[in-house]
Structures are given as C-alpha cells and as structure tokens.
Amino acid sequence: MNELASDLVLSVEDLRTHFETEGGTVRSVDGVSFTVRRGETLAVVGESGSGKSVTSLSVMGLIPTPPGRIVGGRVLFRGKQGDVVELTAMDDRAMRSIRGNDISMVFQEPMTSLNPVFTVGDQIAEAIRLHRGKTRAESKALAADMLDRVGIADPGKRVEEFPHQLSGGMRQRAMIAMALSCSPTVLIADEPTTALDVTIQAQILDLMRTLQRESAERMSIVFITHDLGVVADMADRVVVMYGGRIVEEGTAVDIFKSPRHPYTIGLLNSIPRSVRQDRDADADPGVIVDYRLEAIPGNVPNPMNLPPGCAFEPRCGHAVAQCGQAVPALTEIAGGHHSRCIRWAAL
C-alpha cells in the first residue's frame, strides 16, 4: 500500500543503491530516508563520494544498470493528479512519462545535458509535446514563453539557436526552462550553479526562487550541493550526507546554528567566515585575519572501503571506542532535527 502524508510529495525510504565494480561492491547509498514537503526546498549536502548525486539519480530512475542497482528501499511520489506511485517499482516506460513531466532535473553542466545538434527551442518543445500533448506550433510558442520566463532576452531568436551559441549562464537558464516547461511537482537540481561564476550564480539562484514562488503547483526543490553558502541561501530543510548515509537532518537554522553531528560542525568550521564586520576598525587592514580554520583531519572516505562503524569515526575528534563498532542510528534530538552520532548530547 502506497501511503504518503498529505503534505508530502516525495518520500525516500531506506534507499540502497550499490555499484558492482572489479574491486568489489560500492555501497554508494546505504539506507537513506527523507521526505520532501510540497513547496519546500530541501538541500542535500555532501562532499565527493557522499552519495548525494547517486541518491538523486536513483529517485529519477537514472542509475546505469549494470553496474549500479537499487538493492533496497523504495521511493514514493505524489503525481500531479494527487495519485501516489512507487517510482522504484516502475518500468522504464512508466518512468519516462513521469520524468521531465512530474519530476524534472537540472544538472551541473548544461552542455552535457542539452543535445548539441538540436536547437534550444526544439528541445524544450519536445518535452512539452511529449508530456502535454500540444501541437508542434503550440509547443514552439510555449518554448519561447518559457525562455522569456527564465529571463533570456530576445526569446524568439534564442529558440532557434543551438546550445553552443549560448553562454554558460544562459544555457543553465535554458536547462531550467526545459525542466519547468511541464510544471513539475518536484525539481531536482544537482549542483546547478557549481560551474558558474558567482555573479551568474546569484542570477540563477534568484531565478529558481522566483519561479518556485510563482509556481501554481507550489513546486518543491531538492537542491544537491557541496556549497554551504548556497544551502544557507536556498534551503528550508537540510540533509547532510557522508559515506552514503544521512548523518544529520534538520531545518536550515538547526544545521547552521546548532549542528549536532561532528561532521556538520567540522564542515562549518572549514569554511572561512567573513570577518569584515567584526574587525577592529583601528587595526591595520593589511594584516591577515587572525582566526584559524579548524580543518577536519584526514581524507574523504573511500566508498569502496567504509569503516565498520560510524563512517566519520576515523576523522572525528569526539570518537570513542564504541563508535568504531556499529553504525549509529539516526536519532531524533528535537522536533525534526536528527543526528547519526551516539555522542550528540556531548557536542
């Protein structure tokens, strides 16, 4: 029985996605659960190998099989008609009718996700024709409308252009236009601004916020990123991943203001904070800032060879003997704030 609380649009339940390689099984995603409410932005944060991208590809049914395979868990989704479906049980054909229609995705590098031999307009129009049953001419007109909505100047001309004729920022806008052309319930954005300059990133983040606010369907966004600045900017709630598992989950304020997992704390301490306001006005402005970053020691774990207990234990300053023995449970600390650390109360 597929049940989903009425305010939820997506529920990932104990998802396990593994990859078979010559060196053994890589447990890229190993028991991940989270939900997405209608209209909210959930950020999934992690470094390389954390499993954040494999999680989103699993939800979209885009795991290359072989070598990858969803070996456990399920993903429930509420479609536009309000019907709840199990994405992980669908065949390719059923999934194709959902992808790009009910759930859309925006990737880091738009050049690799746009087809170089078709015009931008054709690619957006194709999605509209496929999912919304419009004619060729109607689709083309709607494509131009979408380009206009994402802030591309002269959309009538741009629909006839090929991806290489657009700048990086404009390509990402076109990608977002395509993703939103069928008014999806959920938009999954995987590092959508990582390849962009900071002034262009600000434009794209602003655009995503505006489109979300304006969407009649109260679109939800799952924002996958490694950039904590972007998370603070965009997210209502945050999931922090490490070694294929969620290590902390909470509201953006929980995560940034009272983090309760040593990895989250370490990540926050790793980013230089601006001290422009705190500096003594009389001090020599050319002196290097006097605080020191508390870097997390060691390396990001190899997903092929995770420690038996807490994946963060080898790098953790709070670790005790017990941490290396079993994977700690994700424990609720306060309403909606969870930590996968047995010592959370001592942090």
Partner 1 sequence: MNADAGAQAPSAAPLVEVRRLAKYFPVRGGLLRRTVGHVKAVDDISFALAPGEVVGLVGESGSGKTTVGRTMLRLTEPTRGEVRFGGADITNLARPELRDYRRRMQIIFQDPYASLDPRMRVQDTIGEALEIHGLAEGGAMHDRIAELLRRVGLEPEHMRRYPHEFSGGQRQRIGIARALAVDPEFVVADEPVSALDVSIQAQVMNLLRDLQDDLDLTMLFIAHDLSVVEYVSNRVIVMYLGRIMETAPAAELYRNPRHPYTEALLSAAPVPDPTVRRERIILEGDIPSPINPPSGCVFRTRCRYATADCASVVPELRPVGPDHAKACIRDDIL
Where do contacts with partner 1 occur on this chain (CB under 8 A)? Answer: 47-48, 167, 169-170, 197-203, 205-206, 226-233, 235, 252-253, 256-257, 266-277, 279, 283-289, 292-297, 299-300, 315
Q: Provide the minimum distance between the beta carbon of 315 and partner 1 in the complex, in angstroms, as a whole number.
A: 8
User: Is the peptide bond preceding residue 285 cis, with omega within 30 degrees of 0?
Assistant: no
**Collapsed DSSP state (helix, strand, coil) of residue 344:** helix
**Cβ contact 233:258 at 8 Å:** no
Q: Provide the minimum distance between the beta carbon of 255 and partner 1 in the complex, in angstroms, as a whole number.
A: 8
What is the C-alpha separation between 195 and 167, in angstroms, rounded? 12
Q: Provide the minimum distance between the beta carbon of 202 and partner 1 in the complex, in angstroms, as a whole number.
A: 4
Q: Provide the minimum distance between the beta carbon of 217 and partner 1 in the complex, in angstroms, as a whole number.
A: 25
Q: Which amino acid is present at 63?
A: I
What is the C-alpha separation between 193 and 179, in angstroms, rounded? 15
**Collapsed DSSP state (helix, strand, coil) of residue 224:** strand
Q: Which two tokens stand for residue 51?
A: 């499993």
Q: Nearer to partner 1 by C-beta: 88 or 264?
A: 264
Q: Provide the minimum distance between the beta carbon of 193 and partner 1 in the complex, in angstroms, as a whole number.
A: 9
DSSP secondary structure string for all residues of 33-90? EEEEETT-EEEEE--TTSSHHHHHHHHTT---TTTEEEEEEEEEEE-TTS-EEEGGG-
User: Is the peptide bond preceding residue 67 cis, with omega within 30 degrees of 0?
Assistant: yes
Q: Provide the minimum distance between the beta carbon of 294 and partner 1 in the complex, in angstroms, as a whole number.
A: 7
**Cβ contact 104:184 at 8 Å:** yes
Q: Nearer to partner 1 by C-beta: 229 or 324?
A: 229
Q: Provide the minimum distance between the beta carbon of 264 and partner 1 in the complex, in angstroms, as a whole number.
A: 11
Q: Nearer to partner 1 by C-beta: 198 or 216?
A: 198
Q: Nearer to partner 1 by C-beta: 226 or 318?
A: 226
Q: Nearer to partner 1 by C-beta: 64 or 285?
A: 285
Q: Nearer to partner 1 by C-beta: 85 or 222?
A: 222
DSSP secondary structure string for all residues of 116-179? TTS-HHHHHHHHHHHHH---HHHHHHHHHHHHHHTT-SSHHHHTTS-GGGS-HHHHHHHHHHHH
Q: Nearer to partner 1 by C-beta: 102 or 249?
A: 249
